[in-house]
Amino acid sequence: MEEQVEMVGRAFADHYYNLFDHDRNALVPLYQPASMLTFEGQKILGVDEISAKLSQLPFDQCRHVISTVDSQPSALAGGVVVVVSGSLQLHGEDHPLRFSQMFHLIPTEQGSYFVQNDIFRLNYSVPNPSPGRQATTRSHRGNSSSSSSTADGFGTGTPCP
Amino acid sequence: MEEQVEMVGRAFADHYYNLFDHDRNALVPLYQPASMLTFEGQKILGVDEISAKLSQLPFDQCRHVISTVDSQPSALAGGVVVVVSGSLQLHGEDHPLRFSQMFHLIPTEQGSYFVQNDIFRLNYSVPNPSPGRQATTRSHRGNSSSSSSTADGFGTGTPCP
């Protein structure tokens, strides 16, 4: 059971990012009308809207490299939650961007899975006192969409005395 | 509905990290016997084992700062999936560590939620050609548990021609 969940998560991640990098339109059948994608804080509901979002992303060529895949059985019979971390190299950019993406996979009657929940975030570096690293961090922020951690209202952090 | 899901996710994240930073044992009632935690690749099943893991973490004092909280309704009635990104400042360490954590919250009969799925990962920087940044990245890796992305067998990345 445990091994099967790991295999599903890993196989899904390999499949998903291979399609994303080489034939992005082929991702669309992985979603269904009730699927939800949150992309850098922007919520997108349903396969048609998700398809439109994927085709409108402001980069044509990219390459995902997976660092980690963590999978668990979900509370829904046969479902699997998968969290992937990795890096995303955009064509023409010097530095890869770190990302995390969570999927909730639900089994279909055909013996496959569809994506019920999909949450994608770029992981920005923490600024430190080194001017070189701060400059890099700012450059990465500049490449992001307008739905940054500040824009979505969650950028101020938990008050921790 | 949408706003309520966002409120649940944000309130849960504030509550969870406040307890983690100030009274870690108080996190235990958030888990149930079927709960699963994956901490840096290590899978831990059930409230007793999760409680033991939390109390054995190799740092006593820490401070989480939330950067982003993304929440969606899950396929399970009333459930909420929450993905948090942020930074973790350990006592005595110069630099905060970036983290991502995913929770699948399931409603209880008492009108609250418990954590069914919990997946935690530190997000390491992508090494770049600057010697100074590489050294920082290696130092962060040295602080992590033995269940690194290499140790769990997922460190080689997707083959992308």
Residue A150's SS3 state is: coil
State the pLDDT at residue B126.
54
* Residue to substitute from A6, A38, A68, A94, interface B, most B β-carbons within 10 A: A68
For chains A and B, what is the number of CB pairs under 8 angstroms? 177
| pTM confidence score | 0.79
Structure tokens, B7: 């409120």
Between B39 and A159, name the one with better pLDDT: B39
| Mean pLDDT to the nearest integer, A107-123 | 95
Rounded to whole angstroms, the Cα distance separating A62 from A20 reads 8
State the pLDDT at residue B127.
52
Nearest in space to B86 (alpha carbons), one of B109, B104, B63: B63
- pLDDT of A138 strictly over 70: no
Q: Given the DSSP bridges, would you call strands A62-73 and A42-45 parallel, antiparallel or unpaired?
A: unpaired
Between A50 and A155, name the one with better pLDDT: A50
Nearest by CB to residue B75, choosing from A17, A106, A119, is A106
Distance from CA of B158 to the nearest CA of A (A): 5
State the pLDDT at residue B75.
87
State the pLDDT at residue A126.
54
Residue A132 to residue B130, Cβ atoms within 8 A: yes
Distance from the first to the final alpha carbon of chain B: 43
Long-range CB contacts (within 8 A, 24+) of B125-130: B125/A98, B125/A125, B125/B98, B126/A87, B126/A95, B126/A96, B126/A97, B126/A98, B128/A95, B128/A136, B130/A132
Positions of chain B with pLDDT under 70: 1, 125-161
Rounded to whole angstroms, the Cα distance separating B27 from B34 reads 15
| Beta bridge mates, B89 | B63
Residue A85 to residue B121, Cβ atoms within 8 A: yes
Q: How far is CA A101 from CA A31, A67, B139, B142, in A?
A: 15, 12, 25, 24
Rounded to whole angstroms, the Cα distance separating B103 from A157 reads 18
- Looking at residue B148, its amino acid is S
Residue B95 to residue A128, Cβ atoms within 8 A: yes
Beta carbons of A97 and A90 less than 8 angstroms apart: yes
Tens digit of each residue's pLDDT (9 = 90 or more) over A27-72 = 999 999 999 999 999 999 999 999 999 999 988 899 999 999 999 9
| Mean pLDDT to the nearest integer, A87-109 | 94
Between A22 and A145, name the one with better pLDDT: A22
Structure tokens, A77: 């019979």
Looking at chain A, the whole-number percentage of residues with pLDDT higher than 70 is: 76
Please, what is the Cα angle at A139 between B40 and B129, to 5 degrees?
A: 65
- pLDDT of A18 strictly over 50: yes
Closest chain A residue to B21, measured at CA:
A160
Residue B3's SS3 state is: helix
- pLDDT of A4 strictly over 80: yes
Domains of chain A in sequence order: 2-142 (3.10.450.50)
Residue A36 to residue B72, Cβ atoms within 8 A: yes
Beta carbons of A88 and A73 less than 8 angstroms apart: no
State the pLDDT at residue A127.
52
State the pLDDT at residue A161.
32
State the pLDDT at residue B77.
86
Contacts of residue A123, Cβ cutoff 8 Å, sequence gap at least 6: A85, A97, A98, A99, A100, B85, B98, B100, B123
Chain B residues lying within 8 Å of A34, measured CB to CB: 75
Residue B74 to residue A104, Cβ atoms within 8 A: yes
Q: How far is CA B102 from the centre of its chain?
A: 6
